[in-house]
A and B are shown apart, each in its own frame.
Chain A
Amino acid sequence: MAAIVLPPPRVGVVKFASCDGCQLTLLDLENELLEVAERFEIVEFPEATSRRSAGPFDVLFVEGSVSTQEQLEELRALRNRTRLLVAIGACATAGGIQALRNYLDQPRVAAAVYPEPAWAASLPTATPLSDHVKVDLELRGCPIDRGQLLELLTALRVGRRPQLPDESVCGACKRRGVACVLVSRDLPCLGPVTAAGCGAICPAFGRACYGCFGPLPGANVAALSRQFVERGMPADDAGRAFALFTSWAQPTRTTAAGSVPVTTHPDRGQEVA
Chain B
Amino acid sequence: MTADTRFLPRESLGRLVAALKAGGRTVLGPVVADGALGLGQIDTPADLAAGVVVATAPGRVRLEAASGQRTFAHRAGPSWKSALFPPRVDRLVARRDGEDRSGVSIEPLAPAVAPVALLGLRACDQAAIAVQDRVLAEGPVTDADYVARRAAALLVVVECTAAGSTCFCGSTGTGPAAGPGADVVLTELEDGFVVRPASPAGREIVDALGLEPADDQLVDRARTAVEDVRRVTSGQLPAGDFAARLVASPEHPRWAAVAERCLSCTSCTLVCPTCFCTGAVQKTDLDGRVSVVEREWQSCFGGDYARVAGWNVRSGTRERYRQWLTHKFGTWPEQFGTTGCVGCGRCIAWCPVGIDVREVLAGIAGAPAGEAPVAPAATALAAAPARWQPGPAGVTSAWESFSRAEVVERRSETGDTTTLTLAVDDEALWATRPGQFVMVGQPGFPAPPISVSRIHEGRLALTIRAAGAATTALTRLPVGAEVGLRGPLGRPWPVDDAAGHDVVIVGGGIGVAPLRPVIDAIRRDRGRFGDVRVALGARTPADRLFGDEVDRLGRETDFDVRQTVDRGDATWNGEVGLVVRLLAPDERITPDAVAFLCGPERMIPPAAAALQRMGLAREHIWVSLERTMQCGVGLCGHCQLGSLFVCRDGPVFSLAELGDRLEHEGL
Interface residues of A (CB under 8 A from B): 1-3, 32, 35-36, 39, 153-154, 157-161, 163, 165-168, 170-171, 174-180, 182-185, 189, 191-193, 206, 216-220, 223-224, 227
Contacts and interface: CB of A to CB of B under 8 A. Distances in A.
Contacts of B59: 183, 227
A206 B282 CA distance: 30
Interface stretch (B96-104, B207-215, B491-499): B96-104
Interface string B56-99: 00011111000000000000000100100001100000000001
13 contacts: A1-B479, A3-B99, A3-B100, A39-B286, A157-B288, A168-B265, A170-B267, A171-B302, A180-B350, A182-B352, A189-B352, A223-B262, A223-B353
Contacts of B63: 184
Contacts of B263: 168, 192-193, 219-220, 223-224
Contacts of B38: 177, 179
Contacts of A179: 33-38, 61
A157 B291 CA distance: 13
Interface in B243-295: 259-267, 270-271, 281-282, 284-288
A180 to B, nearest CB: 6
B49 to A, nearest CB: 13
Interface residues on B, range: 35 or more
Contact of B352 (A2, A166, A175, A180): A180
Contact of A174 (B259, B264, B270, B282): B270
B304 interface: yes
A219 B319 CA distance: 15
A105 to B, nearest CB: 33
Contacts of A154: 284-286, 288, 444
B283 to A, nearest CB: 9
Given A174-B267, A220-B317, A227-B353, A163 B282 contact: yes
B315 to A, nearest CB: 8
A68 to B, nearest CB: 34
B88 A175 contact: yes
A167 B445 contact: no
Given A3-B101, A167-B266, A220-B317, A177 B82 contact: yes
Contacts of A180: 61, 267, 350, 352
Interface in B472-497: 472-473, 478-481
A3 B287 CA distance: 13
Given A160-B469, A192-B267, 19 more contacts: A1-B102, A1-B479, A157-B286, A161-B468, A165-B302, A167-B301, A171-B297, A174-B267, A174-B297, A175-B88, A180-B350, A183-B60, A183-B351, A184-B61, A191-B265, A217-B303, A219-B264, A220-B261, A223-B353
A155 to B, nearest CB: 8
B269 to A, nearest CB: 9
Interface string B147-184: 00000000000000000000000000000000000000
A218 B318 CA distance: 12
A168 B353 CA distance: 15
B35 A161 contact: no
Contacts of B297: 171, 174-175
B87 A174 contact: yes
B34 A224 contact: no
Contacts of B99: 3
B252 to A, nearest CB: 20
Identify which of B38, B101, B286, B296 gathers the most chain A CB atoms within 10 Å of its CB: B286
B350 A2 contact: no
Contacts of B264: 168, 216, 219-220
Contact of B266 (A158, A171, A206): A171
Nearest to A185: B35
B191 to A, nearest CB: 31
* Residues of B contacting A: mostly: loop
Given A153-B286, A166-B302, A177-B38, A160 B266 contact: no
B563 interface: no
A224 B264 CA distance: 11
Given A170-B267, A216-B303, A177 B79 contact: yes
A36 B600 CA distance: 41
A217 B264 CA distance: 11
Contacts of B444: 154, 158, 160
Identify which of B39, B262, B266, B479 gathers the most chain A CB atoms within 10 Å of its CB: B266
B631 interface: no
A177 B39 contact: yes
Nearest to B480: A1
A1 B259 CA distance: 54
Given A1-B102, A183-B60, A158 B270 contact: no
Nearest to A167: B302
Nearest to B82: A177
Given A157-B287, A183-B59, A168 B469 contact: no
B299 interface: yes
A186 to B, nearest CB: 8
B267 A161 contact: no
A206 B478 CA distance: 52
A3 B468 CA distance: 23
Contact of A192 (B265, B285, B445): B265
Q: Across chains A and B, which 3 residue pairs bring their CB atoms closest together, nearest first? A: A166-B303, A179-B36, A174-B270
A161 B265 contact: no
Identify which of A165, A176, A180 gathers the most chain B CB atoms within 10 Å of its CB: A180
A36 B37 CA distance: 42
B408 interface: no
Identify which of A3, A153, A177, A216 gathers the most chain B CB atoms within 10 Å of its CB: A177
B405 interface: no
A17 B296 CA distance: 37
Given A1-B478, A183-B350, A192-B265, A163 B270 contact: no
Contact of B481 (A1, A166, A170, A206): A1
A159 B473 contact: yes
B270 A171 contact: yes
Contacts of A193: 263, 265
A224 B353 contact: yes
B422 interface: no
A7 B326 CA distance: 53
Interface string B351-374: 111100000000000000000000
A175 B473 contact: no
A184 B34 CA distance: 10
A170 B286 contact: no
B285 A1 contact: no
A192 B317 CA distance: 13
Identify which of B61, B259, B265, B444 gathers the most chain A CB atoms within 10 Å of its CB: B265
B349 interface: yes
Contact of B265 (A3, A35, A170, A206): A170
A160 B35 contact: no
Contacts of B469: 159-161
Nearest to B291: A158
Contacts of A1: 100, 102, 478-481
Contacts of B282: 160, 163
Contacts of B261: 220, 223
Given A1-B102, A158-B284, A206 B262 contact: no
